[in-house]
Structure 1
Amino acid sequence: MNIAVVGTGYVGLVTGVTLSDIGHNVTCIDIDKEKVEIMKKGTSPLYEPGLSELMNKNIKQSRLFFTTNHAEGFANAEVIYIAVGTPENEDGSANLAYVEQVAKDIAQYVVQDLIVVTKSTVPVGTNHKIKTIITENLVNNIKFEVVSNPEFLKEGSAIKDSFEGDRIVIGADSSEASAIIEKINQPFGVPVFRTDVRSAEMIKYASNAFLATKISFINEISNICDRVEANVEDVAKGMGMDKRIGPDFLKAGLGYGGSCFPKDTKALIQIAGNVHYDFQLLKGVVNVNRKQQRMIIEKLLERMPDIKGKRIAVLGLSFKPNTDDMREAASIVVTNSLIDRGAEVIAYDPIAMNNAKKILAPEVEYSTSVKGAINESDAVLILTEWDEIKDIDLNFFSEMKYPLVVDGRNCFDLETMREHHIEYHSVGRPSISCQFEKTYA
């Protein structure tokens, strides 16, 4: 089918590229001219494994196109996907300005019957609002339906998730429109769940909120494990063997970040508040996550109470591995806290440093390698579990003034760190004391 995708952020670009890869003719529309020119050359403006390769493949096969012109992009479109951002308002609600503008653009430029599909994460009732906006502003006499088709992509594995996802959710008032969207997605080979529009909108928020809850729960358990000398990894494994619980999202660490969980949890709290319901559980999840990002600083200060003038290496800056996304990353809170206490910060990330330089404090220094960051530092903090960091040569730590590592992602085996005489503090696991114990004043 002929498909237009409005918005080439994370969701829009992955959606457009993967739909073209299963055989559809896709035109991606974005108002950023420079960005569009880059994408026309087959270069992805964001880091996502495998994305650039699929872009080039489908551009060469004349199935994938990019434009800034809505009239051009909508000219032959049988289906238009809305995939623009819904950033967070000050009160935690979703800002729908971009979605509403796309609805007005559709009303102005479409020239044939079509289906409008909302990929953007939007509050319950938004799809019906989109339908009203299009109807009230429609220039040409055409028929259309609006369908909710929320995305469930994980940054760093979005291509894999597109082809091997757990489900595709389609919410529609029209069974005919629902059937067409199901047929479009059929080549993915992913199970389809059809429901009404409002339920589809809620499924997206409820799914992310539940996963965020699992993360905050295991982090609270890890904090108790720290105090009772239990090992949270064993606890999580024992819990995850219960089929009712499952092992996913039970990895203790520095909490969740990125573009979805922080925004969507707060948006769902606001959605509940709009209907006079106090979502106390989810408020607790958000508060726990906010606190968890500071946990690694507390562990460092327990061992090194005065960090003024100390050189602290920070390994990993993106909110998770395999992405350059710095949104809500723990590194923002951690580096600011270190600098506020007078520490010198030297940071390294294999992919995200360019984005980090736009966000982190100007006092942060950057290293071109893991070894360069560690060399002659007083302590190492690990914030992102990149493979490069997990596979580090532990002998690098011998070049530190004293081998002190505080790991917010539990990257290393405890016995291995003990064998290398590294003082090692992690999340919810027993600490390893180095035989060359040193007291920091």
Structure 2
Amino acid sequence: MRITMIGSGYVGLVSGACFSDFGHQVTCVDKDAGKIEALRAGRMPIYEPGLDDLVATNAAAGRLRFATELAPAVADADAIFIAVGTPSRRGDGHADLSYVFAATEEIAAALTRPSVVVTKSTVPVGTGDEVERILREKRPDTAAPVVSNPEFLREGAAIGDFKRPDRIVVGTDDPHARAVMQDVYRPLYLGESPILFTGRRTSELIKYAANAFLATKITFINEIADLCEAVGADVQEVSRGIGLDNRIGRKFLHAGPGYGGSCFPKDTLALLKTAEDFGSPIQIVEAVVKVNDSRKRAMGRKVLAALGAGAEGGEPRGKTVALLGLTFKPNTDDMRDAPSLAIAQALADAGVEVRAYDPEGMDAARAMMPVLTCCRDAYEAATGADATVIVTEWDAFRALDFARLKEVAAAPVLVDLRNIYRREAVEAAGFTYVAVGR
């Protein structure tokens, strides 16, 4: 099939590359000429394991193209995917749909034949109705049914998620659109990936409800971690004890510094605004957002308290902290709403020098956190540090050389905000160990 993907960001690029790997002819369109030029040269605008090879293979085979002009790509497309950004709108937290509607206007002007228009972007309930209205108003002469097809990609594992999905959600009541979407996803359907066909509004809500539920699990276990610290329990054992219940499941029950990234913060806020607009508030999600925001600040205070655990103790001002890991999760360079932002700022506000290292996030961190001293590796970051803090659980930090770390640090204090080490091993190496919920 001939597929046009409007937007070559995270969702658009990964989806387009995977569709082309299935054998479809895909054109990824983006207004950013620099991005398109880089993609044609094989340079990825994001870090995602395996994406560069996937793009190179399918571009070389002629199945994947990149363009800045939308009209030629739309003219002969069987399916046109809208995969542009929907960031939180400044001031009110609503999803900013201006890019979605601008893309719709351009699609309407470029249509030359019946095509299916698919919203891949994460959009509030009812957005598909407005996209359909624009298309019908601008082009009453051309059939263009509108489908909702939300993405469920985890950064760092997106290619695997796309090719081996838990489910594919397609929102449409149009028989032709349903047939086209079956053809688009036929390679996955043959592999027995379940396709759930629903109404369009239901599909739009599924995406938000899924992310809000996962954010709730994270926030729940973080509050349980605080209780564990107060009563002397171990949150990791609690997580395992409840996660073995099939009704609950073990995923997203890892205590830490709070959720961040491009989806959960934005989508929980957008869901709250949608619920507000329809007069049906979701108080659980309201609490999740509030608790998660305070969680990140509390982690900054936890690190400041740990500075008193070193040999010298005393006030934090003038001391040095090493942050290991800055991105909101490993295997990505995404710094959006990362807990490290709040932690670094809290330390800097207290007069602490912040040194940091992240395997992929340093460029973004430099722009977002001028308070940082950026380092080349974990040991350079820990040099002269009164506490070393694991913020993101990159594999590179799972087997630190504690003898070397102790040699370069000013004080042997390890704050493990991801609980990736055993207390006994760290203390045996001569460190004071501070974990979360343990």
Pick the TM interval, shorter chain.
over 0.9
Secondary structure of residue in 2 paired with 1:5 = strand
Identity %: 46
Contact residue 29 and residue 70 of structure 2 kept, 8 A: yes
TM-score of the pair, normalised by structure 2: 0.96
Q: Deviations over 1:396-435 (max 9, x none)?
A: 3312122011111112111111211210101101xxxxxx
Please name the residue that 1:5 is paired with: 5
Please name the residue that 2:226 is paired with: 223
Letter in 2 for 1:297: G
Q: Find the aligned partners of 1:48 and 1:349 in 2 and give their Cα distance.
A: 15
Please name the residue that 1:178 is paired with: 178
1:110-149 mapped onto 2 (5 Å cutoff): 110-138=111-139, 141-149=141-149
TM-score of the pair, normalised by structure 1: 0.95
Contact residue 381 and residue 408 of structure 1 kept, 8 A: yes
Which of residues 348, 357, 370 is equivalent to 1:339? 348
Q: Deviations over 1:345-367 (max 9, x none)?
A: 1110011000111111x231111
Contact residue 397 and residue 422 of structure 1 kept, 8 A: no
Q: Find the aligned partners of 1:76 and 1:40 in 2 and give their Cα distance.
A: 21
Letter in 2 for 1:127: G
Q: Find the aligned partners of 2:399 and 2:180 in 1 and give their Cα distance.
A: 47
Contact residue 345 and residue 371 of structure 2 kept, 8 A: no
Shift of 1:282: 0.5
Please state if 1:408 is matched with 2:378.
no
* Unmatched segments (≥5 aa) in structure 2: 309-313
Q: Deviations over 1:49-77 (max 9, x none)?
A: 00010000000000000000011211221
Please name the residue that 1:285 is paired with: 288
Q: Deviations over 1:105-135 (max 9, x none)?
A: 0010111110001100001111011010111
Q: Deviations over 1:67-104 (max 9, x none)?
A: 00011211221110000001101211101000000110
Q: Find the aligned partners of 1:350 and 1:263 in 2 and give their Cα distance.
A: 25
Please name the residue that 1:199 is paired with: 202
Q: Find the aligned partners of 1:353 and 1:302 in 2 and give their Cα distance.
A: 26
1:3-82 mapped onto 2 (5 Å cutoff): 3-82=3-82
Q: Find the aligned partners of 1:396 and 1:225 in 2 and give their Cα distance.
A: 32
Please name the residue that 1:436 is paired with: none
Which of residues 279, 296, 310 is equivalent to 2:299? 296
Q: Deviations over 1:302-353 (max 9, x none)?
A: 3326211101111101000000000000111111111111111111001100
Q: Find the aligned partners of 2:40 and 2:294 in 1 and give their Cα distance.
A: 43
Secondary structure of residue in 2 paired with 1:85 = coil
Shift of 1:393: 1.3
Please name the residue that 2:390 is paired with: 382
Contact residue 374 and residue 396 of structure 1 kept, 8 A: no
Give the length in aligned residue pairs: 427
Q: Find the aligned partners of 1:214 and 1:338 in 2 and give their Cα distance.
A: 28
Contact residue 323 and residue 391 of structure 2 kept, 8 A: yes
1:412-431 mapped onto 2 (5 Å cutoff): 412-429=421-438
Give the RMSD, CA atoms, in angstroms. Answer: 1.1
Q: Find the aligned partners of 2:173 and 2:130 in 1 and give their Cα distance.
A: 14
Q: Find the aligned partners of 2:326 and 2:391 in 1 and give their Cα distance.
A: 7
Contact residue 27 and residue 66 of structure 1 kept, 8 A: yes
Letter in 2 for 1:151: E
Shift of 1:171: 0.5
Q: Deviations over 1:286-308 (max 9, x none)?
A: 11111111232222233326211
Q: Find the aligned partners of 2:113 and 2:131 in 1 and give their Cα distance.
A: 18
Which of residues 332, 339, 347 is equivalent to 1:330? 339
Shift of 1:278: 2.2
Secondary structure of residue in 2 paired with 1:294 = helix
Q: Find the aligned partners of 1:275 and 1:147 in 2 and give their Cα distance.
A: 22
Q: Deviations over 1:29-65 (max 9, x none)?
A: 0000010000012221100000010000000000000
Please name the residue that 1:208 is paired with: 211
Letter in 2 for 1:355: A
Please name the residue that 1:238 is paired with: 241
Shift of 1:176: 2.7
Shift of 1:196: 0.6
Letter in 1 for 2:342: V
Secondary structure of residue in 1 paired with 2:169 = strand
| Deviation beyond 6 Å, 4+ runs, structure 1 | none
Contact residue 304 and residue 347 of structure 2 kept, 8 A: no
* Unmatched segments (≥5 aa) in structure 1: 430-441
Shift of 1:262: 0.3
Please name the residue that 1:393 is paired with: 401
Q: Find the aligned partners of 2:194 and 2:283 in 1 and give their Cα distance.
A: 33
Shift of 1:177: 1.0
Q: Which moved more, 1:392-401 or 1:60-69?
A: 392-401
